[in-house]
Structure formats: structure tokens, C-alpha cells
Structure 1
Amino acid sequence: MSTEQEEASIRCLVAKVGLDGHDRGAHVISRAFRDAGFEVIYSGLHNAPEEIVQAAVQEDVDVLGISILSGAHDTLVPKIMDGLAEYGAKEDTLVLVGGVIPEEDRPALESAGVAQIFGPGTSIEETISFVRENAPER
């Protein structure tokens, strides 16, 4: 399989959770993922954790990118991780979080199953490389 075919098979859901209305970063990463050859689904704003889990499971995504700037990451992200586990999708889904996440909150998110946290200033290239290197093979 060529590199292009492999990249095209990476399905990503970029999701906004909770009442966070700041979606510029989610749009930027969605477009960058698309331009990198990934299949991208964007959730839109104001999704409950359960809605994100349902979308990830129904769309059979390889990567779930959660964009959150509201400060509710310590509550909402674990709910998403628990929901993925309930459906048996936690092990098959690379979960990323993008946003302003304080250093002291990162270990709890990582222990919940978040593979990587990307903060402000992370290059698009770094994010795309991480996905290419770590997306589960299907």
C-alpha cells in the first residue's frame, strides 16, 4: 500500500466538547489533517461527551481530536474516555487533546488514556507526524 493510501485511510473526528465556543483551532487542525490526506469529520460546537463518543464509534474513527479551551477538560475528557471504554473503542482510538491544559492537569488526562496533549504553539507538522506515527492500524 502506498503512503498516500495509508494516510487516506486515517479517519479523524475533531470534536468540540461542552460549552466551549472557541473553534478556530479546531477548524485549523481539521483543514490541516484534510490537507495531509486524512479523512476528517468535524463535530461542530457544544457537544456533550456522550455525543462525541457516539460519533467516534459510529464513524469508526482511528483518531479523536478533542479541542477544549473552557477549562472543563478535567471533567469532560475523562467522560469521553469512559464512554469509549464502554463501547470497547478506547484501545482502538488514538485520543488527542488540544487546548490550554495546565501542566498539573496533564498526568490525569494521560492516565485516563489521552495519547498526547497539544498546547498553544504546537506546529501543525508535529501534530500530523504524531498522528501518522501513532494512529492504530486497521
Structure 2
Amino acid sequence: MSKTLNRPIRVLVAKVGLDGHDRGAKVIATSLRDAGMEVIYTGLRQTPEMVVNAALQEDVDAIGISILSGAHMTVFPKIMDIMKQKGLENVLVTGGGIIPEGDMQKLKDIGVGELFAPGTTMEAITTYITNWVTENRNF
């Protein structure tokens, strides 16, 4: 018997740092919304602290970080550290952008979820988030 949620999945989509390219984040946010999720898009130039604070305030199931700047090895660990400090547990941190495969594995090793490269289908991203939330946040 598979689990189902009796509520919409809540996802925070964020652009961290000085990267001003937000088309991909907006496409992701729209696609997740079209899939029935509640999406909070924080806009450009967020700090890791701002992202975690917004995730706490919005009671999200998942945080999706769009990153094209090359700062992924700084941004993701900082977000994970702040989440731990603030007791934000059992929330998926996922994302995508220009992230080399070796770095993806290092980030997964510290607790970051699946990271998606350019060209990933929206179906793959939506399915991953839905499955993770259903398995880990079914309350």
C-alpha cells in the first residue's frame, strides 16, 4: 500500500547569492505549482540565512536551490548548517544548476538530496520531491 498526503506539498524555491539568472527557478516554481504543490519563490539575491528563515516561517516540506554561480560548495553546506542550528529537521534540501557530478556526491554526503543538472525533466523533479515528502513528511 503506498502512502499519500492529504495536503499539498509546500516547496520553497530560492536563488542564493549574486547569481541574477532566475529563469530556471521560475520555470521550476511554475511547474511544481502546476503539479499541485504550494510554492514560495523567494526571488533573487537571498542569503542562506534568509532561505532557512523563510523555510521555517512557511513550514515547507522541501527547499529547492537554483544555483548557476559556482558557489554550490559554499551555499549548500551553509544552508545545511543553519538548518541544523535552528532545528529544522526532516526538510528536503534539493536543487539544481551547474554542479559537477563529483561535487553533487560531496553534497549528498552532507545530507543534500538529489541535485538536478540542466536538461532534467520536470517530471523527474516533481516525482522525486513528491516521493521524498510522502516517505519522510507524511503528517
Please, what TM-score do these two structures have when normalized by structure 2? 0.91
Q: What are the within-5 Å matches in structure 2 for residues 1-138 of structure 1?
A: 6=5, 8-89=7-88, 91-135=89-133, 136-138=137-139
Percent identity of equivalent pairs: 53
Kindly report structure 1 stretches of 4+ aligned residues shifted beyond 6 Å.
Answer: none
Contact preservation (8 Å) 1:8, 1:37: no
Mapped partners of 1:112, 1:45: distance in 2: 25
Task: Show structure 2 runs of 5+ residues with no match.
Answer: none
Contact preservation (8 Å) 2:60, 2:91: yes
Q: Tell me how far 1:8 sits from its aligned partner.
A: 4.6
Mapped partners of 1:56, 1:112: distance in 2: 19
Mapped partners of 1:119, 1:8: distance in 2: 29
Contact preservation (8 Å) 2:94, 2:115: yes
Task: Show structure 1 runs of 5+ residues with no match.
Answer: none
Partner-residue secondary structure (3-state), 1:34: helix
RMSD value over aligned CA atoms?
1.5
Please, what TM-score do these two structures have when normalized by structure 1? 0.92
